[in-house]
């Protein structure tokens, strides 16, 4: 009888460890977010649920093209999702409905077509990034509120997990 109790105890300990690790993993490393607005269309639409790696920018610097979740500079209780367009030391400019980084137009297959006003040129200083929504006409981003401090970055978006028919890597 004692052998059976010992097995049960170990199973419960193992189950508790798995649940604790899963909970920590969810809140410390991977966190779900909801896309609330059309600012990232067409790739992400309102109602999409995404998973974000919260360790990404504690270990690596953001790079152009990363889709990031961050604390909104004008209200740190709110979170936004945008795409990194330029990083430290790069010159960014928007003109003729194109984005230029260091004077070269970048390829943006993810952008929703449409007209948007010119911006810059501006050199991104150390400790900041320039972010834009993919739907430039419907996005509140660096053009409006300025360059984003890197310490406001909460994580890198990895994939859409819900609705299931929209599942894809970001």
Catalytic residue list contains 39:
yes
- 16 three-state secondary structure: helix
Catalytic residue list contains 168:
no
CA–CA dist 131, 148 (Å, integer): 7
Of 87, 135, 130, 90, the C-alpha closest to 108 is 135
Catalytic residue among 37, 77, 82, 150: 82
Backbone torsions φ then ψ of 161, nearest 5 degrees: -115, -15
CA–CA dist 166, 46 (Å, integer): 12
Residue 11, exposed/middle/buried by CB under 10 A (0-12, 13-18, 19+)? exposed
In 36-77, alpha helices (H) = 56-59
Catalytic residue among 39, 56, 139, 142: 39
- 19 three-state secondary structure: helix
CA–chain centroid gap for 130, Å, is 13
Catalytic positions, written as ranges:
39, 82
């Amino acid at each position: 009888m004692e052998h059976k109790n010992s097995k049960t105890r170990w199973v419960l300990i193992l189950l508790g460890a798995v649940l604790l690790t899963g909970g920590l993993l969810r809140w410390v490393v991977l966190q779900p977010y909801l896309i609330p607005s059309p600012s990232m269309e067409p790739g992400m639409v309102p109602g999409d649920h995404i998973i974000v790696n919260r360790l990404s920018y504690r270990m690596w610097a953001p790079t152009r093209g990363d889709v990031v979740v961050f604390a909104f500079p004008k209200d740190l209780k709110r979170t936004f999702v945008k795409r990194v367009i330029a990083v430290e030391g790069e010159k960014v400019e928007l003109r003729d409905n194109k984005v230029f980084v260091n004077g070269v137009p970048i390829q943006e297959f993810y952008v929703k077509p449409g007209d948007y006003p010119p911006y810059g040129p501006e050199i991104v200083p150390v400790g900041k990034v320039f972010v834009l929504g993919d739907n430039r006409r419907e996005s509140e981003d660096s053009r409006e509120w300025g360059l984003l401090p890197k310490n406001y970055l909460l994580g890198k978006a990895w994939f859409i997990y819900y609705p299931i028919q929209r599942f894809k890597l970001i």
